[in-house]
Structure 1
Amino acid sequence: MTANRAGALLMLLGMAAFAMNDAMGKWLVADYGVAQVILLRSLAAGAVMLPFVLRGGGALRRLASAPRPGLQALRAACATIEVFCFYLAVSYMPLADVMAFWMAAPIYVVAISPLILNERVGARTWSAVGVGFLGVMILLAPALQLSGLGVLFAVLGTAAFAAIMILGRSLRETPDRDLVIFQLAAALAAGLLLAPLDWQPLRGAGDLGLLFLLGLVATAAHMLVTRALKLADASVVAPLQYSLLVWGALFGFFVFGDVPAGEMVIGAALIVGSGLIILRRPAPAEAPAPALAEAGE
């Protein structure tokens, strides 16, 4: 099997794992507080990552010795805001709708990259950005009528997701392992701080197992996607991240009985089409398009 084929397979598996993680999260936040879910998920993920945390010092020592620690801390904070907003959004909205909002994050990155990153963006890419924003507007219209609060969390979470991607470009020299550790530490700290405010007694060993499985699946998803991006060309694996929408629609239908509305399908199609155009924008005339960040929570 070639490296590109192996990377594509790992990316598809990673997207399936992210969708499973998101579906379990939506199921759990119906009965437990978001901070409680994130805390227990972080503890499970921390158990998996513990050998990496202990190697070379703890998370705080890594942060202190990491390049540009201020940006590292800001990225970890944005990642924590993003995961909180995602779980809050799916508590109000169908899973596939929320995922469609998250898939628009790379479009936002391209739109603001000339201002923040001094990157050149050509006319074709600006046209794609416009199409992507149209898709977001189509998603917003019916979603606002059903759940204005859910849309607010989705928009805030997507903005935080875009910030993670932009900050990640400035922190290319930081190993992926350390970026994950910093995110995990920030989410764990936020969970410890906020979970006691809305702690719900666990209903049984099954729910406890599901909460810890949530952390294991999320960690596996991150590892699969990270490995895929290292094995294969970004142009091969990045478009496959849009398969998350398919998985989201399937989990939403079979687990929660959600039937995608026509507006969601049209809006998501415009967002995906826009993202694919952006990913394939020519390198000589314009700066390389950002690969999609690890989607899902």
Structure 2
Amino acid sequence: MTVMDKPQGASALAGIGLMLAAVFTFSFGDALGKYIVATYSVGQLLWLRACAAFLILAPMIWRQRAVFTALERPWLQLARIVFSTAEVGMFFLSAVYLPLADIITCYLAAPIFVTAASAIFLGEQVGWRRWTAVGVGFCGVLIALQPSSQSIGWPSLIALAGSLSFSVLMVITRMLRATPDVVLAASQFAGTFTVGAVLAPVAWVTPSLPDLGLFLVAGVISVSALFCLNRSLKLAPASIVVPYQYTMIIWAVIFGYVVFGDIPSAATLVGAAIIVGAGFYIFLREQAMGRQADGLTPPPV
């Protein structure tokens, strides 16, 4: 039995697990990227990060090179590259001016956008319970992060535009779920490679050997995160897995305390508890719906 042949409930739970892994990996990569753009330009980060990613992807691209010649819905593939490149660029551009927590606040509006878009464009069934859980999770984000006064202005508009681009990217990825994983990842890095190659020479700073290592790590992280994210959206409806992006705040608290010694405030802990509760509710409900679909439990009266 292949992954795509698994019962709906099992596929949804696997998709949730991969989304959680993607969020963790992206959170680490975002923090690393913000550290890098304090010294290097966004264009240089995009280009060197993409170069490192292609070093990792090269063997897979070579082995599966035949699949690149017959892609489904090429115009939609191109639109996905555009939105992916725009999202990454806007995220790191906003990171130059905003605290990471404020950027994450803007990006965590994405589950709202995707839940709405998945109902409109993908025909996914989104009931009031899931809408409620998504809304409660977003309230938890606002309580936990308490966006600073810096979040008002054009940098926050860039971050919000990045969030919208990320939402469109996830919806399109779900629509192109028949496309091989290596194609989805390679096409995204092709976009950032091209834009980075144009922008990097404008403010080029020759990186030291240790910093080249950071760019390599950034490439490894981004490849891992994209594979987890793209596979997640293949296995489960976007409206189910995307709300788990709220767990970014959990990792922000953990990384902040362990790495930087930041002690979370009471509001952060309360907000994080609300987020975990909302996500856990969606998980339990999807698990119950999966058991019903598999015929293991009777439907509710």
TM-score over 0.5 (shorter chain): yes
Cα gap change, 1:228 to 1:118, in 2 (>3 Å): closer
Q: 1:103, 1:271 within 8 Å by CA — same for their partners in 2?
A: no
**Residue deviations 1:125-172, cap 9 Å, x none?**
343444355456668974354553332222111111110111122111
2:31 is aligned to 23
Find the aligned partners of 2:234 and 2:121 in 1 and give their Cα distance: 26
Contact 1:39-1:188 at 8 Å conserved across structures = yes
Q: Deviations over 1:64-119 (max 9, x none)?
A: 62000111111111111111122123333333443344344222211233332334
Instruction: Report how many aligned residue pairs link the two structures.
Output: 278
Kindly provide the amino acid, as one letter, of the partner of residue 190 in structure 2: A
Question: Cα distance 1:262–1:188, how it changes in 2: closer, same or farther (>3 A)?
Answer: farther
Q: Counterparts of 2:24 and 2:141 in 1: how far apart (Å)? A: 23
| Residue 58 of structure 2 is aligned to residue 54 of structure 1 | no
Indicate the residue corresponding to 2:73 in structure 1.
68
Shift in CA distance, 243/275, structure 1 to aligned 2, threshold 3 Å: closer
Q: Which residue of 1 aligns with 2:43?
A: 35
Question: How far apart are the structure 1 equivalents of 2:270 and 2:156?
Answer: 17
The reply on whether 1:176 has 2:184 as its aligned counterpart is no
1:41-60 alpha-carbon deviations (Å, 9 max, x no partner): 000000110122233448xx
> In the TM superposition, what whole-angstrom CA distance separates every residue of 1:168-203 from its partner, at most 9, and x where no partner exists?
22111111221111111111111112222232232x
Local SS of the residue matching 2:148: helix
- Return 66-75 or 170-179, whichever deviates more: 170-179
1:241-273 deviation digits (Å, cap 9, x = unpaired): 654332223334555676656666666665555
- Change in 2 beyond 3 A, CA 1:100/1:276: farther
Equivalent position of 1:105 in the other structure: 110
3-state SS in 2 of match to 1:217? helix
CA 161–271 in structure 1, closer or farther in 2 if over 3 Å, else same: farther
What is the TM-score with the length of structure 2 in the denominator?
Answer: 0.73
Match of 2:217 in 1: 213
SS of 1:87 mapped into structure 2: helix
Equivalent residues in 2 for 1:132-151, closer than 5 Å: 132=137, 134=139, 142-146=147-151, 148-151=153-156
Contact kept? 2:133, 2:281, Cα under 8 Å: yes
Q: 1:187 pairs with 187, 192, 197, which one?
A: 192
2:96 to 79, 91, 94: 91
**Contact map agreement 2:84 2:166 (CA 8 A) in 1:** yes
* Alpha carbons of structure 1 residues 199 and 260: separation in structure 2 relative to 1, 3 Å: farther
Cα distance in structure 2, aligned partners of 1:142 and 1:242: 15
2:181/2:227 contact within 8 Å kept:
no
Counterpart among 116, 121, 128 of residue 121 in structure 2: 116
Residue of structure 2 in register with 1:163 after alignment? 168
Tell me the amino acid that sits aligned with residue 215 of structure 2: L
Query: Partners in 1 of 2:203 and 2:95 — Cα distance?
Result: 18
SS state at 2:213 partner? helix
Alpha-carbon contact 2:37-2:96 (below 8 Å) kept? yes
Counterpart Cα distance in 1 of 2:37 and 2:164: 22
CA contact (8 A) 2:137 2:274 kept: yes
Q: Provide structure 2 residue ranges, at least 5 long, that are not aligned to the other structure.
A: 1-9, 291-301
Distance 2:119 2:82 in 1: 24
Sequence identity, in percent? Answer: 42
SS of aligned partner of 1:193 = helix
CA RMSD of aligned residues (A): 4.1
Contact 1:95 1:249 in 2 (8 A): no
